[in-house]
Amino acid sequence: MASRMEIFSPEGLRIDGRRWNEVRHFRCAINTHPVSSDGSAIIEQGNTKVICNVIGPVEPTLRSRVVPDRVSISVKVVVAPFSTIDRRKRSQNDSRIQEMCSSIQHVFEDAVIAHLFPRSQIDVNLYVVAQDGGVLQACINATTLALIDAGVPMYDYVCACTAGMLDREVLLDLNRIEESDMPFLTMATIGSKRKVALLQLEMKVQFDRLEPMMAASMSGCHHIRDLMDNEVRKHGKSRLERGSL
């Protein structure tokens, strides 16, 4: 366990040199795997890296997945064995991974305009290539971009961000070391409003600290939304110039 001094210095700098309200280096790209999927995206948030492939809307392969009046989304998360320092193969049945799949599925079943594609299915495949904290948020952000690339109609961007609470200091967008050292929450918002689609808090925190954490993560979400929006527009422009739109 790192001491408080290392996590947040008296000068207000974090272990990787950020201020409390700075998100990590954010890089994203869409349409990265045009052959293998209908929509794809890569996201890097700090050292966390996630690839997302979207296939669909297609006819469901399983009859049990047919929902008569809306599209069903099936999410699969694969965590690469080399994604952490200790090389370890994670089973698909890991309850944490399953929970993550179900969270992502529910977020997007309400974020896409589901009634436009009755009796069909969208497959979302997520590959966690490197993890350094905030895996869930990166997965959600990557899914949003891949769905946009696939042309699936959505109400707005779904953006996720984490925020932690160290004593009385709020820290935005935690890395792995920070995550293991303090209670933190993951929040996903729809659009640039105060609408929260997903909220997960896993460790004990004083109620009074909750509000600043939520406020910080929300502003982080909105910031990430702008970053993703820029990338999508840039991508669209470049394709327009190439005449491939």
Partner 1 sequence: MPRDLTPSTIENTFVLKALTERIRLDSRSFNQLRDLDISFSSTEYGVVDVKLGRTRVIARISAEITQPYTDRPYDGLFIISTEISPMAAPTFEAGRKSEDELVISRIIEKSIRRSGALDTESLCIISGEKCWAVRADVHFLDHDGGLMDAACIAVSAGLLHFRRPDITIEGVGSRREVIVHPITERVPVPLAVLHVPVCVTFSFFDVRKASSAISGRTRKDEAKDVDEDDVEEEEEEEEDDSSVAVLVDATLQEELLRHGYMSVTANTNREICQIQKGGDMPVDVGVLLSCSEAAIMVAEKVTKLINKRLKEDEARRNVGNLLVEARAENDR
Q: Is 186 helix (H, G, I), strand (E, B) or coil?
A: strand
Nearer of residues 22 and 156 to partner 1, judged by Cβ: 156
In angstroms, what CA-CA distances link 178 with 39, 131, 202? Answer: 33, 13, 14
Contact by Cβ (8 Å): 148, 210: no
DSSP 12: S
- Whole-number minimum distance, CB 202 to partner 1, in Å? 6
As measured in angstroms, the least distance from the Cβ of 110 to partner 1 is: 5
Tokens of 190: 């729809």
Which of residues 55 and 101 has its CB atom nearest to partner 1 in the complex?
A: 101
What whole-number distance in Å separates Cα of residue 110 and Cα of residue 147?
13
Sign of the Cα torsion 240, 157, 102, 27 reads: positive
Q: Which C-beta is closer to partner 1: that of 67 or that of 177?
A: 67
Nearest CB to partner 1, comparing residues 43 and 198: 198
Q: Which residues bind partner 1 (CB under 8 A)?
A: 95-96, 98-99, 102-111, 113-115, 155-156, 185, 188-208, 210-211, 214-215, 218
Shortest gap between Cβ of 109 and partner 1 (angstroms)? 7
Residue 139 beta carbon to partner 1: minimum distance, rounded to whole angstroms: 12
Burial zone of 109 (CB within 10 Å; 0-12 exposed, 13-18 middle, 19+ buried): middle
For residue 85, the minimal CB distance to partner 1 (Å) is 15
Nearer to partner 1, 32 or 71 (CB): 71
Q: How far is the CB of 133 from partner 1 (least distance, A)?
A: 17
167 φ/ψ sector (left φ>0, alpha ψ -120 to 50, else beta)? left
CB of 130 to partner 1, least distance (A): 24
The token pair at 191 is: 């659009």
CA–CA distance, 51 with 6 (Å, rounded to integer):
31
Residue 2 or 116: the one with the smaller Cβ distance to partner 1 is 116
For partner 1, give the closer residue by CB, 21 or 192: 192
